A and B are shown apart, each in its own frame.
Chain A
Amino acid sequence: MSIICFTGSIVVECVVIIRHSDLFIFCLFFLSIETTRSLTPADPNRPDASTLNLDIPFINDEDRPTTGLVMHSADDEENFNRNAGSTIWKLNIVLILISCWVAASLTGWGFISGGINSSGEHTAANPLVGKFNMAMIAVSQNVAVLLYMWTLLAPRLFPDREFA
């Protein structure tokens, strides 16, 4: 009986945890995957099930007779690998950073500390509250403002240089 209670409480705990944060992570994960996937064009070599002609035997591409409309150029994939494809790995790096950022922002940068009331006593904890979290965000605000100021001032201070 106690085992049932124990597993039951774990299930409840899981539901609580998932309700709190993991849903966001899963949503973000799938959305980010959809973003990368939607950036890549469909494979021209893959046969579409609805247009597949079973009368033609499955033979090598070189031996297959040429039929149908020309929809893509043959070097589509090569083009992709050479151009847009060369930056896809950078996007994956950004996605690593995003995973880490989600973890950091949901856990208050991993620092666990409760709130304090006026007499310095411990009060209810909020997972997102904390001095460190506050400082991080305040710094990032000033970085944003300074970055923008720099985009305005840089061409004025260095008129000879080119800023794209």
Chain B
Amino acid sequence: MLYISIFVLDLHNLTVKTMKNRKKRFMITFISIMVISLGYIYLDKGTELFKGLELIIVLLITIAGIIALIRVIKKDKNLNEGLPEDDELSTKIKYKSGYYAYMATMYIWVIIFILKDLFPDKQSMLGGGILLSALISFVAKYFVKKNFYE
């Protein structure tokens, strides 16, 4: 893992030196991290990881990573333009979406506990639940922003 971290850092430094477009730099670094991490996991655990529930968890991690990257790029763009990261509207959207995400997550946990026999072990159940919660918060924010009217 240490070698992977060093390699990714080297790659990021190389892109910083050679590429002016910050968006492209983020994309290249992110895709490299994803490919290298998945490759490492594949070599370590073999093809079993990409079957059934494990595949869903890997997909959830990938989706969460992509959404997080898009958010970082947007924040970076705002900062580059001399605009604040957060303001009164974004704070309101955060509070509102936080409430919806909290309510939805409670139901999700109830469903997860009802379907607990479908999970191979407790780690998968908890990990999957936490990942789903993160995705729900992203989705809630998207819908609140889209339908915001005050």
The answer to whether A and B assemble together is no
